[in-house]
Amino acid sequence: SSIEFTGPLHATVVKQVRLKNPSNNTLGYSAVVVGRDAGDFSLPKGNTVTIPATRQGFINVEFTIRFLRPAEAVLILISNKVDGRDGATLTFSLKSEVKSIEPLGMIKCKSPCYEL
């Protein structure tokens, strides 16, 4: 599965990953972001999530678009034993795309183009 972070340059985009637990046991996961641009992604609400039986849980992933080139990383959710049960390890591809460039500010200056 892939999660896309799109927006203008310098924008901060937050995506919420929904995790469903169809089993009758509570599941727990620890999240880690790995890859070339992993340092640009963060987990602002923590890197653990507990999902009660037959319910759903959420984990937030935040990304600030700093470069024009696409950023890439992988979100890995590793199961922690809760109620003596392990869940499957989950992976998500994280990708970014710059949709527009807005100036942060403008500076006017006068300068001669050429001097002898």
Tell me the pLDDT tens digit for each residue of 88-103: 899 999 999 999 988 7
CB atoms within 10 A of CB 87: 20
Confirm if 63 and 97 have CB atoms less than 8 A apart.
Answer: no
pTM of the predicted structure, to 2 decimals? 0.82
Residue 82 has pLDDT above 90, yes or no: no
Q: What is the mean pLDDT of residues 7-17?
A: 93
- Give CATH superfamily name and number for 2-100: Immunoglobulins (2.60.40.10)
Tell me the pLDDT tens digit for each residue of 34-66: 999 999 999 999 999 999 989 999 999 999 999
Confirm if 10 and 100 have CB atoms less than 8 A apart.
Answer: no
Confirm if 13 and 3 have CB atoms less than 8 A apart.
Answer: no
Secondary structure (3-state) at 46: coil
Task: Give the pLDDT confidence score for residue 116 in this predicted structure.
Answer: 73
Q: Cα separation of 18 and 90, whole Å? A: 12
Q: Where exactly are the structural domains of the chain? A: 2-100
Task: Give the pLDDT confidence score for residue 74 in this predicted structure.
Answer: 97
Task: Give the pLDDT confidence score for residue 87 in this predicted structure.
Answer: 83
